[in-house]
Amino acid sequence: MMPTPTTLQLLAAALFAVALVHTFATGFFERLAHRQPAHAGLWHLLGEVEVVFGFWALVLVLAMAGLDGGGAAVQYLESRNFTEPLFVFAIMVVAGTRPILHYAALSVRRLAQLIPLPTEPVLVFLLLSLVPLLGSFITEPAAMTLAALMLRDTVFTAGASRRLRYAVLGVLFVNVSIGGTLTPYAAPPVLMVAGPWGWDLHFMLQTFGAKAAVAVVVNALAVTLIFGREIRSLGSAPAEVGEPIPLTVLAVHLLFLVGVVVFAHHPVVFIGLLLFFLGFTTAYARYQQPLILREALLVAFFLGGLVVLGGQQQWWLQPVLMQMDATSVYYGAAALTAITDNAALTYLGSLVQGLSDEFKVALVAGAVTGGGLTVIANAPNPAGAAILRGRFEDGAISPLGLLLAALPPTLVAIAAFRLL
């Protein structure tokens, strides 16, 4: 039975609903900026999808201060766990640097050249399959950042059709969401429950590994075959310009990347590493391109807002989940993930005692299955959206376009998790 909500909880649920509507209306604010140039700055700000949840989280905190006092608002903020937004910020900045991208692109391209098929379609296939599966080891946000940055220069070019861009985006988001389930630490929804439920590497490989890998490969292969002719017509990515990167510089970058991943659950450590890393990139600026600090900060702001707003949604989310059996919770979690972060769903599940093993697996499988349907469904999605949205019309990704594009690969994931 659903508990009687407080005034603050009702307000938080209403603001969460408004924020969801706002994510679908960012294009409206961009058009408004052109019609009202005097306030274009404000409308452009509200037209940034990464700003949406942070903005409405601010409204919630101000309302909380008005209802319960400033001390209560500060206490609530301090009770939230912002490790995930901070980690995504750090990993985006480190993984998005020129040496890391150069090494990753060179490795994937050389692997593509070993396969006796046209290089460009094979390269796209590897970026949509190998890199998302690699996310199980380097974390999903790192995999999303690397894949999105490399796809930006190979697929999301001026000559690419709208259908191709959305199809690749949908597969990328779905594959990153399910591709991180081979280990217990890489996918945010798995990370939330692995400790409390005792899920180790063996359990993840046995329960999710083969199913996720099959779905990832099928999705990547399908989009590559369907759009193979267009991908070949786009040609190769432009040659990199800039000073050659010494192996020592690359090695230092890789060490920082590994350090951030290893200490992903310790923000004091990985933020310290990030600060040292910023100093290193400044000292060796000639080997760098501009760091993606703006994109990373916007994504962190988005996720931070989701943490603040999502913390007040337990009163209605948990009863909805607990009324389902294992089969319905799988599909329910996949659907609910489209309107809330999938890690929030599994976190709520981890708080409930007495769940069957079948229910636990179904909840997590459903959460990762629906992780590509919207920008807010999975924590790494805003990172990919921030990198790629400039290659779409009006510099914005259509929520409906993404939803429709992500449905086919999501259905493949459903078939893999339910039938295999």
State pLDDT tens for residues 374-393: 998 998 898 899 899 889 88
Give the relative orientation of helices 7-24 and 399-419 as an angle to the nearest 10 degrees: 110
What distance lies between CA 384 and its chain's CA centroid?
6
Look at residue 251 in the predicted model and tell me its pLDDT.
95
Domain locations along the chain: 7-79, 83-306+314-419
What does the pLDDT read at residue 413? 97
Sorted by sequence, the CB contacts under 8 Å of residue 130 that are 6+ apart come out as 108, 111
Res 259: pLDDT: 94
pLDDT at 256: 95
The pLDDT value given to residue 1: 62
According to the model, what pLDDT value does residue 241 have?
56
Residues in CB range of 127: below 8 A, 6 or more apart: 108, 147, 150, 151, 154
pLDDT at 71: 95
b/e code 338-357 from CB counts within 10 Å (16+ = b): bbbbbbbbbbbbbeeeebee
Q: What is the DSSP letter of 237?
A: P
Contact present, 85 and 303 (Cβ < 8 Å): yes
The pLDDT of residue 360 is: 92
**Whether the Cβ atoms of residue 102 and residue 218 lie closer than 8 Å to each other:** no
The pLDDT value given to residue 138: 83
pLDDT at 115: 87
pLDDT at 242: 63
CA distance 46 to 38: 15
Query: Are the beta carbons of 87 and 300 closer than 8 angstroms?
Result: no
Q: Is 228 exposed, middle or buried (0-12, 13-18, 19+ CB in 10 A)?
A: middle
**Cβ contacts of residue 336 below 8 Å, gap of 6+?**
317, 320, 321, 345, 370
Nearest to 151 by CA among 231, 82, 212, 49: 231
Q: How far apart are the C-alpha atoms of 139 and 133, rounded to whole Å?
A: 10
Residue 131's pLDDT is what? 93
Token code pair at residue 238: 């432009």
**pLDDT of the residue at 255:** 95
Question: Residue 3: its pLDDT value, please?
Answer: 72
Radius of gyration for the chain, computed over Cα atoms and rounded to the nearest angstrom: 21
Q: Which residues of the chain fall short of a pLDDT of 70?
A: 1-2, 235-242
Could you say which DSSP state residue 391 is in? G
- The secondary structure element, H or E, covering residue 395 is none
pLDDT of residue 367: 94
pLDDT tens readout for residues 124-169: 999 999 999 988 888 888 889 989 988 998 899 878 899 999 999 9
As a whole number of angstroms, the distance between CA 88 and CA 420 comes to 32
pLDDT on residue 236? 63
